[in-house]
């Protein structure tokens, strides 16, 4: 039985409204330029010798020895950065990013742009729902949702500029005056000296490295813990690399052999192994916290993690999970379970969300200096003014509208727009109004099925 008692007419902005003029999707010209930009939107697009790609880090490909030496060998940076601009008819431009590369640009320009151009940027829910529903047949997770995320972030950035307010104000204002930050790093000792509230290190070895790999994992965690002291929080990131038995054994060994233990074990299993996550938490949840969600998508994926009691903390990446529009739903849903949300990376795109939601207690900064020995912007030189933590906190400038960052003209000069469209291909408010008049409706629409058998279609 339906409760749609009358059809919903299409949303067409009133004449004179500031609407979206154009959506543009770019990649950085080539991998060398992306590395020169410090990775841009892809933190793994780093030059040879960088700790994040060329030190031992357990990952889903670790069991294949041909690809152990560097994560770049199996293509962790193969897809690359995508930068989306949403230009309004008043000239304002919003910027969103994701790891989606040229495939993402195709989805943005050739498919999703029709739901954005000509529309009022304030109608974010309407736009998001149409982008999501129109891609269910080939999307649901991964690249497609990352493309939607980039557009959504660009819309929120443009909307903040249109309203002359930071995004966190649009989301409901502050729930905290300053945001504490922890560091993901190869050097927890340096992170502590720099004032971070916690350090997280990657687990070096996985099941494919045998029992000796387990022993070396414990040694690495011991050394890291000793470098920061028993009372300083330390966590480990397993990057989807373990099995249920291995994760449970690792948690027990850490508790038994590492004085002070760890705060949490992160993303220890394949992201689709919901039953496995629930089992690990049930059998080892008394030993330390368990977190996941970095590679999960939309509220439907996170609902699985919550309902099955898979974790203690959710970690959506705001540039991948569906953007701000979907992330605020995830935060609201998690609050009903008293589960904190600590987004993966995302920099300014997560900071504004975390300012606005009480159940987002701390932020993450991945230390992207090659030797993890100094604080650098998460997005490299992509922006000229990305805020950086000081004394363990992020402070967002309340005078900067949108997400408060500006594209670096030097880096932008290396952008390439692989699927540029001509002016006549762009949708406008007028074309939306025209399509509204032409659409089938009422009895005429409902009578069409009865004509099929007559060949009248």
Q: Decide: helix, strand or coil at residue 102.
A: helix
> Tokens 């906190």, residue?
393
Instruction: Annotate 324-356 with b (16+ C-beta within 10 A) or e (fewer).
Output: bbbbbbbbebbeeeebbbbbbbbbbbbbbbbbb
From the list 50, 268, 295, 344, the catalytic residue is: 344
Calpha distance 242→250 (Å, rounded):
10
- The answer to whether 383 touches 407, Cβ cutoff 8 Å, is yes
Neighbours of 229 (CB within 10 A): 12
- The answer to whether 104 touches 151, Cβ cutoff 8 Å, is no
- The answer to whether 38 touches 380, Cβ cutoff 8 Å, is yes
Calpha distance 112→107 (Å, rounded):
6
Q: How many CA atoms lie within 13 A of 264 on its CB side?
A: 21
Tokens of 94: 């919003």
- Secondary structure of the chain: what % helix, strand, coil (to 5)? 40, 15, 45
- The answer to whether 250 touches 258, Cβ cutoff 8 Å, is no
In 3D, which of 317, 310, 361 has the Cα closest to residue 337?
Answer: 310
CA 221 to chain CA centroid, Å, is 27
Calpha distance 351→378 (Å, rounded):
12
Calpha distance 323→350 (Å, rounded):
9
Pairing of strands 179-184, 93-99: unpaired
Judge whether 344 counts as a catalytic residue.
yes
Q: What are phi and psi of 246, to 5 degrees?
A: -65, -45
Tokens of 289: 């916290």
Q: How far is CA 142 from CA 5, 38, 147, 379, 423, in A?
A: 35, 23, 9, 20, 30
Calpha distance 202→5 (Å, rounded):
54
Calpha distance 316→345 (Å, rounded):
9
Residues whose CB is less than 8 angstroms from the CB of residue 1 and which lie 6 or more positions away in sequence, other chains included: none
Calpha distance 173→356 (Å, rounded):
5
Catalytic positions: 344
């Amino acid at each position: 039985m339906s409760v749609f008692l009358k059809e919903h007419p299409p949303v067409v902005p009133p004449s004179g409204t500031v609407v979206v003029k154009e959506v543009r999707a770019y990649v950085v010209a080539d991998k060398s330029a992306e590395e020169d930009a410090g990775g841009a939107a892809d933190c793994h697009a780093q030059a040879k010798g960088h700790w994040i790609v060329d030190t031992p880090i357990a990952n889903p490909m670790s069991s294949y020895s041909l690809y152990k030496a560097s994560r770049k060998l199996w293509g962790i940076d193969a897809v690359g950065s995508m930068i989306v601009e949403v230009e309004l008819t008043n000239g304002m431009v919003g910027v969103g990013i994701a790891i989606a590369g040229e495939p993402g640009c195709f989805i943005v320009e050739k498919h999703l742009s029709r739901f954005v151009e000509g529309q009022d940027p304030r109608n974010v829910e309407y736009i998001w729902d149409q982008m999501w529903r129109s891609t269910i047949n080939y999307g649901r997770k991964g690249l497609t949702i990352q493309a939607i995320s980039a557009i959504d972030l660009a819309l929120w950035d443009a909307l903040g500029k249109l309203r002359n307010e930071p995004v966190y104000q649009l989301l409901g204002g502050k729930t905290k005056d300053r945001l504490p930050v922890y560091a993901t790093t190869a050097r927890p000792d340096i992170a502590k000296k720099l004032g971070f509230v916690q350090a997280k290190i990657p687990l070096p070895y996985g099941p494919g490295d045998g029992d000796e790999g387990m022993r070396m994992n414990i040694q690495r965690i011991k050394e890291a813990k000793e470098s920061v002291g028993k009372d300083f929080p330390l966590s480990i990131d397993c990057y989807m690399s373990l099995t249920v038995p291995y994760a449970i054994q690792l948690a027990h060994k850490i508790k038994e052999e590492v004085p002070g233990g760890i705060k949490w074990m992160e993303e220890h299993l394949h992201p689709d192994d919901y039953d496995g996550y629930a089992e690990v938490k049930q059998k080892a949840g008394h030993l330390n916290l368990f977190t996941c969600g970095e590679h999960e998508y939309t509220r439907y994926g996170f609902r699985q993690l919550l309902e099955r009691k898979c974790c203690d903390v959710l970690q959506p990446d705001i540039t991948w999970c569906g953007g701000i529009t979907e992330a605020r739903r995830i935060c609201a849903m998690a609050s009903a379970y008293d589960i904190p949300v600590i987004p993966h990376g995302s920099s300014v795109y997560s900071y504004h969300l975390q300012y606005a939601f009480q159940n987002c207690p701390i932020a993450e900064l991945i230390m992207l200096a090659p030797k993890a020995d100094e604080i650098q912007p998460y997005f490299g030189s992509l922006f000229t003014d990305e805020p950086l933590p000081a004394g363990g906190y992020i402070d967002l400038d309340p005078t900067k509208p949108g997400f408060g960052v500006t594209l670096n003209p030097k880096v932008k000069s290396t952008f390439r727009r692989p699927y540029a469209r001509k002016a006549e291909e762009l949708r406008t408010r007028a074309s939306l109004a025209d399509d509204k008049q032409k659409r089938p409706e009422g009895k005429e629409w409902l009578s069409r099925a009865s004509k099929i058998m007559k060949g009248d279609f």
